[in-house]
């Protein structure tokens, strides 16, 4: 929503600025668009929580459930069997 609002106000402000030959008018209209986008996107409006996402529960029986991404493996030094270090 934020990006769409900014884009719409950017196009609108450019068109109005071009039509009026006023850089100041263009920048004021664009600044108003940034403020409108800020008011729309930043507060935690109840509208954003109408359809909350439900995440799956953690499967503790999975063998790699606690392995962190990018962490070196135990005893392997980060190199799989059959691969050479470069």
Burial label, 26 (beta-carbon count in 10 A; 0-12, 13-18, 19+)? buried
Residue 22 has pLDDT above 90, yes or no: yes
Other beta carbons within 10 angstroms of residue 29's beta carbon come to 19
Of the CA atoms within 13 Å of residue 51, those in its CB half-sphere come to: 0
Q: What percent of the chain has pLDDT over 70?
A: 74
Q: Answer whether 6's CB lies under 8 Å from 38's CB.
A: no
Overall residue count recorded for the chain in this entry? 86
Q: What is the pLDDT of residues 25-64, one digit of tens each?
A: 999 999 999 999 999 888 888 887 888 888 878 777 777 7
Rounded-to-integer distance, Cα 57 and Cα 42, Å = 29
Please tell me the predicted confidence (pLDDT) of residue 56: 79
Q: How many Cβ atoms from other residues are within 10 Å of residue 14's Cβ?
A: 13
- pTM for the structure as a whole: 0.56
Residue with the bigger pLDDT between 84 and 48: it is 48
Task: Categorize the per-residue pLDDT at 72 as very low, low, confident or very high, splitting at 50, 70 and 90.
Answer: low
């Amino acid at each position: 929503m934020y990006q769409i609002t900014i884009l719409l106000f950017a196009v609108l402000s450019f068109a109005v600025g071009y039509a009026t030959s006023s850089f100041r008018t263009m920048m004021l209209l664009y600044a108003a668009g940034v403020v409108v986008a800020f008011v729309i996107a930043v507060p935690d409006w109840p509208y954003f929580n109408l359809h909350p996402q439900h995440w799956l529960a953690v499967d503790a029986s999975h063998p790699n459930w606690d392995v962190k991404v990018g962490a070196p493996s135990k005893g392997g030094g980060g190199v799989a069997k059959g691969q050479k270090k470069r």
